[in-house]
Amino acid sequence: MALLDGKVAIVTGTGPNIGGEIARALAAKGAKVVCVDRDLDRAEAAAIQVREEGGEALGVGCDITDPDEAKRAVQEAVATYGRVDILVNNAAITHRETILDSPFETWQRVIAVILNGSFLMSQNAANQMVSQGEGGAVVNIASTSGHMGTKAGIAYATAKAGILNFTRSMALQLAEHNIRVNSVTPTQTGIPVAGGKSRWEGPPPDNIPRGRWGKPSDQAQAVLFLVSSNADFITGTDLKVDGGVTAGLAGG
């Protein structure tokens, strides 16, 4: 029997980088996966790839910042597969502007996707898990940018720091329902969050002690561990899959 047999997982932001790889990794261990993306093509492409590899998956187009759409995505998961056991809040957008030049609209949109979207998906999925009465697991995808100040991307760094405490608070609030909540912290992995040509090519910078760029599978395998019964005693924590980038920070 595979590790996640009988489980239903929702993964948001299933583009070809980290989210798509998480969907594939969970499906490879037996989970039925609902691939949610604002871009329907990306949602469906991820689901098709899972099915081509022998798994079960559904693609759902959904802007997670819209309360009605977030609710519908969870309802579609239940309508198709009957339950929800796992949620991975992975969707995000980023930007480069600083406090001096970031348009307010950019600040609002980045905060909305990362924080509002994670809130809405979590609220709907967690209520579904509570109603099932069999617990569950949530993993929020953070970033090294959430652990330290950054020279660019004021909204992104602020929102990702928020994800860390969102995770801890959810873990405390859902523990009595046997729902575990953790986060994973990636560093520069695969193609950049903004899409397009990869920034993460060529020799890695000095700030990655492991001496290479992150691979989507690095993140996906960490998520797989955290949602599995192997992590049964782990909740409210952050797993840094960052090649050592944050090891030099106080509190590492």
* Residue numbers at the binding site for ligand NAD (CB under 6 A): 12-13, 15, 17-19, 37-39, 42, 62-65, 90-93, 113, 117, 141, 143, 186-193, 195
Neighbours of 112 (CB within 10 A): 19
Residue closest to 249 by CA, chosen among 150, 155, 111, 152: 150
The C-alpha angle with vertex 179 and arms to 249 and 86, in degrees rounded to 5, equals: 90
Of 18 and 33, CB closest to ligand NAD: 18
CB of 6 to ligand NAD, least distance (A): 26
156 is catalytic: yes
CB of 229 to ligand NAD, least distance (A): 24
Of 16 and 236, CB closest to ligand NAD: 16
CB of 176 to ligand NAD, least distance (A): 28
The residue from 81, 107, 119, 156 that is catalytic is: 156
Residue closest to 23 by CA, chosen among 91, 106, 79: 91
What's the Cα-to-Cα distance from 145 to each of 101, 224, 242, rounded to whole Å?
19, 22, 11
Q: What is the dihedral of CA 128, 132, 133, 135, to 10 degrees?
A: -60
Of 131 and 165, CB closest to ligand NAD: 165
Sheet with 179-186: strands ordered across: 56-61, 32-37, 8-12, 86-89, 136-141, 179-186, 238-241
CA dist 219 and 154 (Å) reads: 24
Of 50 and 113, CB closest to ligand NAD: 113
Would you please indicate which residues are annotated as catalytic (active-site) residues? Answer: 156
